[in-house]
Amino acid sequence: MEQLNYESVAVGNVLPAVTEGPITNIQLVKWAAGSGDFNAIHYDLNVAKQQGLENVLIQGPLKAALVNKLLMELCGQTGHIRRVKSTYSGMDIAGNTLTCTVTITGKYEENGARCVACTYIMTNQEGRTTVKGDAVLEL
């Protein structure tokens, strides 16, 4: 994903979708180790199956981290994320491929800073939205 250019971005622009995955069990174990989230439903298939799932769950904060990675790429080296808010609206399991789409909803200057507001959705390969939110990026 390329860094956003304040001058050329416009309200209503839908940025090219970014896809991650398929998310692997190894990624989930590494995230558990890094985050300290050792809930077995994220790495133990037997526990996941006991809960009626076909595979282990992808951690919600891992999905948020993937969104934040995309937003940081949009900010580039000189910008930063001013605010980000995510809502989890569905579960994803290991093996899912996640796609994030960002739409520009606002563009303004505040105290000399050039800001871009956006919304985003994350969908899985079935087209189900499992994360949605909004952010303000300072470019």
Q: What is the pLDDT of residue 1?
A: 79
* Whole-number percent of the chain with pLDDT over 70: 100
Give per-residue pLDDT as tens, 6-25: 999 999 999 999 999 999 99
Give per-residue pLDDT as tens, 89-131: 999 999 999 999 999 999 999 999 999 999 999 999 999 999 9
Residue 115 has a CB neighbour count (10 Å cut-off) of 18
